[in-house]
Amino acid sequence: MTDDGPPLAFSGSRLAWSDMPRDVRARIAELAGAEVATEAPATTGFSPGYASLLELADGTEVFVKAVSPEQNPDSPNLARAEIRTLELLPPEVPAPRLRWSHDDGTWVMMGIEAVAGHVPDHPWRPDQLRRTLDVVDRLARAGTPAPQDLPPLSTALDGLAAATRALADSPTDLERAVAAVGEHGEWLAEHLTDLVAWAEQAPFLATGTTLAHNDLRADNVLLDEHDAWVVDWPHACKDAPPWYDLVGLLVSVSMQGGGDPEELFWSHPTAAGADRESVRAVLAALTGYFLLGAVRPAPLGIGNLRPFQLAHGRAALAWLRRF
């Protein structure tokens, strides 16, 4: 927590341009088409790799990401997944476009269209919340039908359900989670069997034909003067219901004091026709995933992740109690 409220997704220990090997910097400049003049590091997100807006010597700009297993063993594969997704996104999806990429087997790097935007303010401003909710609707419409070469959402939900089951099966993790969620701890302990059962229904109930970003939260949205953009795409899936991303986003919005997730969900266009049992199943799976992560040791290079997951877990659990 911070003095202003829940923790934001401020980047932790990220690489600077000078931290990367000389041959990696040379390859980025070659791919970008000009030498690097200045860099403006990204201030949100969790990757311990390199992420900066680069101004090039020819006056153009490009947003560059680069990572190797030395920073975190899982991050290169996430970068590879993001590259694949960006190559598949329909042109109508409100996302910056991939300009180039390179993978030498150790370092994975990509150049993405520069967007002159900023993450929504914290605490949320009503106009920025409206624009962010609007982009969820645009994303669902543009992403239906989803690109068929993406992994199915059911695979991701299987993973969330497994995390929920693991939380229930580990007395130590469960004890820590019950203590960490404060006033929700007694309810969590009493409804643990329900939580697992609901979560395990999610892969079967939350189905559709829509593209899911599958990690939509405030720091993965950029707002400029006229538009909104969805960024950071390594977890994208197909076969989602149109309301799926809205659930995850509203957990983030609720965590950061942006409004009542129940009211915001059912008044949103993508929630039209949503089955309440299916929404509860997704929310339960997210709750278990966040709480298990929150009480486990931090992954290499991402020490700021666990407080963020705990805040999300509390917000998800508070919403789940209303179902």
Question: What is the pLDDT, as a whole number, of residue 3?
Answer: 39
pTM of the model: 0.94
Does the pLDDT value for residue 61 go beyond 60? Answer: yes
For residue 299, what pLDDT is reported? 84
Q: Is a pLDDT exceeding 80 seen at residue 131? A: yes
pLDDT in tens, 155-213: 999 999 999 999 999 999 999 999 999 999 999 999 999 999 999 999 999 999 999 99
Beta bridge partners of 36: 56
Q: Which fold has domain 17-112?
A: Phosphorylase Kinase; domain 1 (3.30.200)
Q: Is the Cβ–Cβ distance between 284 and 164 less than 8 Å? A: yes
CATH level 3 topology of 126-320: Aminoglycoside 3'-phosphotransferase; Chain: A, domain 2 (3.90.1200)
Instruction: Please name which of 218, 212, 217, 200 lies closest in space to residue 160, comparing C-alpha atoms.
Output: 200
For 22-45, write each residue's pLDDT tens digit. Answer: 999 999 999 999 999 999 998 777
- Token pair 């239906």 is found at 144
Closest CA to 272 of 203, 197, 200, 210: 210
- Pinpoint the residues of the chain covered by CATH 3.30.200.20: 17-112
pLDDT at 1: 39
Say whether pLDDT at 2 is over 80: no
Residue 9 or residue 129, greater confidence: 129
Q: What is the pLDDT of residues 245-279, one digit of tens each?
A: 999 999 999 999 999 999 999 999 999 999 999 99
Residues of the chain with CATH 3.90.1200: 126-320
Q: What pLDDT shows up at residue 11?
A: 47
Per-residue model confidence (pLDDT) at position 8:
54
